[in-house]
Structure 1
């Protein structure tokens, strides 16, 4: 074996050792980067979970606030369309009693209806046009409210001072929107004589197979419908159930 061959062999060995060392350094750095990426992914996942919990807590707080808001209004009536200033001369209580006496005389003769408070709804700022302020009536008894609402529904129309007015339950804006969200389904169920109702504050109920079913939202109803082919067919268009 010549000296030149041994020299070349030694040089190749040194190069291999150097490459091995560089490879080990590279692998070490790759492992460090992978650990850093894994750590970042863990932190991102933890952050998403925290944000998800915060979103759930916020929704729970909003739902609870709406429930409290609505519970404070359980005895309230909302009189829409009462002319502004109608109560100026003799007060809002007189206006309310006149509306009942003129439109629902049988109920107006009852003396047990207790009025706790009457006021105009707070003004809403709108730079484009003035917003009418409705009359809010707080009754002493929830049953009185239901009697008035039922009597108002039985009338073809209500009027006061020559103007058409409406009497409704008083709910928060969010609850009104939730109740309106049932309208299309309510209409279809009513056409099928399934006795739909909107329960307080915004649950849908109807009669199905001899039982009363109630639902918190459309998703809950949609899940129930999947097990009821006949109901599925009835609500296919309104719930957008695929064929």
Structure 2
């Protein structure tokens, strides 16, 4: 099964998305990309806006004995946020102690990945326009957790910006952000990668390089973006 090709690769998708975002004149924007695939897209958006770029990691909290079954998520940030479906947690027997242990483990993994990507401290979101970027959305579970976490971070405005996503998934996410920007909603919607000519995996080395380029770009407001 093949889908309609919409983008050559993530960088081209990012440039097209940047064109749509740039015209909206957001106040004091910061771009948060979901790694790894969202980073090349977010890099282009941040460059177009002259905005700082950071990564936003979302770590699943799995059910006891069935870690692939998510009962919640930990969302990266200056103050990491926890999103737990309390009804599901009770149903699968996840105690508070179990959840706390999973949170500690996933926090350690986030710190390990930040060290790997050499990002330093997360950017401050309070009072800013936060633009969440990924290379596409399929089911929306990860993005939903990310938006729920950001809602607790004191941002002035939250914008979701993606090259493509199913229309029904987008509509289910609108209540979690102030604005949704999506270039295409193919119908029928195939897997995200079906709509890219080149959808090879984004490697850690590329993430590190793009984040370093963004940090060294001397963009307006970037020097004040890091927590001290």
TM over 0.5: no
Higher strand share: 2
Structure with the bigger RCO (C-alpha within 8 Å, sep 6+) is 2
TM-score, normalization by structure 2:
0.23
| Structure with the higher helix share, 1 or 2 | 1
* TM-score between both structures, scaled by the size of structure 1: 0.22
